[in-house]
Amino acid sequence: RAVHAARAAFESGPWPKMKPADRQRVLFKLGDLVLEHADELARLETLDNGKPIFESRQVDIPMVANCFHYFAGWATKLAGETLPVNPAYFNYPLREPLGVVAAIIPWNFPMIMVGWKAAPALAAGNCVIVKPAELTPLTAIRLGELALAAGVPPGVLNILPGKGSIAGEALVRHPGVDKVSFTGSTEIGRHIMKAGADTMKKLTLELGGKSPNIVFADADLDVAVKGVAAGIFYGKGEVCAAGSRLLVEASIADEFVAKLAERAQKLKPGDPLDPKTRLGALVSEKQMNTVLGYVETGTKEGAKLVAGGKRAPINGKGWFVEPTVLDQVDNAMRVAQEEIFGPVLSVIRFTDVDDAVKQANDSPFGLAAGVWTRDVKKAHAVARRLQAGTVWINMYNFYDAGMPFGGYKASGFGRDLGPECLRDYTQVKSVWVSIE
Ligand code: NAP
Ligand code: MG
């Protein structure tokens, strides 16, 4: 029924035919409504996901609003240019919407992901079905209501909660869905590629990561310690781009790890609804057990636990895990190669620039990377050599609707955000006109 509603809205509703300036106004209004309902949405997100209300309110809300405000502007700017093929013809490309886009999204950023995927798809004139993760459907449902209030016509943005294996799978196989934009695990990403082949689904896949955060001896070490800690502990480490591998230059490694361990020990999990809390609860008991299992795997493989490593229940309850640092990790170990998706940092030493780049790229993933150095030449040279869709220099975990985000290698293809993602939500028609 969701696909039929979206198809009908696309084929005979007002949305794709609307004046772009009117679509722009509606989407901009939705951005405003997100800000007007910030406290309510932030609370829902925290109740659903366990992330601190501080993060929901100060990061997720502004990012969702940023997406609708930014992509609203693109509705009026999806232009083509005339192409000088032959004086006898008039040639121009028309950039058209794809039709019905299914956005299948994960539980770690349930509200942000609606903004990342629905905002550009809608701006380009598509109709959208969002399938939130079963664990975290609340904010997507509320955003659906706000979209109607902003003037998005019925059927244009559909929110379809349900299990991945049922609702998600049905969307991937449905002939009425033109494109699937997926964020989640590499395993399900691969499955969606195969399952979508019969109906020739267009795909954007934003998958996992094992992103290296590279600290050179010439970095501002105090700034780097803060950045590296935030890079892995922000969002409880349940972040696709989490800086989950610290690559640190051997000459400063002991000093750096000591500072980092001290910082990790000071960061205590707390009640996610308390505005002072900076580390929340993992999303589920299952995720907590996966994460604690990896800590055990790491120590069995020979890593040295220098901070955290245990469950930290509050009043005997909750899926809280201490910020954890595993030192003496070898890049070949499972805790360096596999996505843990929790507040667990694996520390690996390197000897020089070539060694740093080699170990950083020795991963099936290529989502993001961080570089910490005061040497501007080294920073840019290393950025070019890293196989990663995003490189942060002397910063980590920053996002904006205007900057493309996505993966190299097994971290996926296609891009969310930025002007780049609009290519993935449109198709080009080449028009030839005889004028002689
Ligand atoms: P997942 O299974 O990949 O889930 C992502 C989304 O895909 C959810 O909406 C899920 O629905 C849906 N889905 C599941 N099976 C599907 C299918 N056969 N067809 C269509 N859609 C399907 O991720 P997860 O199980 O929640 O997490 C497992 C691991 O994935 C994590 O530990 C982490 O390593 C990684 N992960 C990565 C990201 C990222 O941002 N790259 C985000 C989340 C998780 P339901 O949840 O309702 O089943
Ligand atoms: Mg799953």
**389 in Cβ contact with 366 (< 8 Å):** yes
**DSSP per-residue string spanning 156-191:** SEEE----IIIIIHHHHH-TT--EEEEES-HHHHHH
Instruction: Please state the atom number of ligand 1 nearest to the C-alpha of residue 107.
Output: 43
Residue of 185, 203, 240, 409 to test ligand 1 pocket, by largest number of atoms within 8 Å of CB: 185
DSSP state of 202: E
Q: How far apart are alpha carbons 397 and 373 in whole angstroms?
A: 17
| Active-site entry in 45, 67, 238, 240 | 240
Contacts of 122 (CB under 8 A, 6+ apart): 15, 23, 27, 71, 128, 152, 156, 157
pLDDT of residue 90: 97
Distance (Å, whole) CA 142 – CA 139:
5
E strands present in 202-292: 202-206, 212-215, 245-249
Tokens 């601190």 map to which residue?
52
Instruction: Give how far the C-alpha of residue 347 lies from the chain's centroid of Cα atoms, to the nearest Å.
Output: 24
Report residue 183 as tokens.
């964020």
Please confirm, yes or no, whether 134 is among the known catalytic residues. Answer: no
Question: Which residue lies with its CA nearest to atom 27 of ligand 1?
Answer: 185
Catalytic residue among 45, 55, 169, 206: 206
**Residuewise pLDDT in 10s, the chain (436 residues):** 999 999 999 999 999 999 999 999 999 999 999 999 999 999 999 999 999 999 999 999 999 999 999 999 999 999 999 999 999 999 999 999 999 999 999 999 999 999 999 999 999 999 999 999 999 999 999 999 999 999 999 999 999 999 999 999 999 999 999 999 999 999 999 999 999 999 999 999 999 999 999 999 999 999 999 999 999 999 999 999 999 999 999 999 999 999 999 999 999 999 999 999 999 999 999 999 999 999 999 999 999 999 999 999 999 999 999 999 999 999 999 999 999 999 999 999 999 999 999 999 999 999 999 999 999 999 999 999 999 999 999 999 999 999 999 999 999 999 999 999 999 999 999 999 999 9
Pocket of ligand 1 (CB under 6 A): 104-108, 131, 133-134, 163-165, 168-169, 172, 183-185, 188, 191-192, 206-208, 240, 339, 341
Angle among Cα 101, 12, 174 to the nearest 5 degrees reads: 35
Task: Using the mean position of ligand 1's atoms as its centre, give its distance from the Cα of residue 360 in Å.
Answer: 25
Closest of 175, 209, 130 to residue 396, by C-alpha: 209
Two tokens, residue 100: 């019905």
Ligand number, closest to the Cα atom of 170: 1
Give me 155's structure tokens.
Answer: 């059927």
Question: In 271-375, where does DSSP find H-type helix?
Answer: 285-301, 334-337, 353-361
Give the neighbor-by-neighbor strand order of the sheet with 202-206.
Answer: 157-159, 127-131, 100-104, 179-183, 202-206, 412-413
Q: Which ligand is nearest to the CA of 107?
A: 1
Whether the CB-CB separation of 269 and 320 falls below 8 Å is answered with yes
Nearest CA to ligand 1 atom 42: 184
Rounded to 5 degrees, φ, ψ at 27 are -70, -35
Active site residue 45: no
- pTM confidence score: 0.97
Among 116, 187, 188, 240, say which to mutate for ligand 1: greatest number of ligand atoms within 8 Å of CB: 188
pLDDT of residue 389: 98
Backbone angles phi, psi at 8, to 5 degrees: -60, -40
Residue 56 pLDDT: 98
What is the number of residues in the chain? 436
Looking at residue 332, what is its pLDDT? 98
Residue 175 CB burial class (10 angstroms; 0-12, 13-18, ≥19): exposed
The pLDDT value given to residue 417 = 98
Neighbours of 393 (CB within 10 A): 17
Q: What is the pLDDT of residue 96?
A: 97
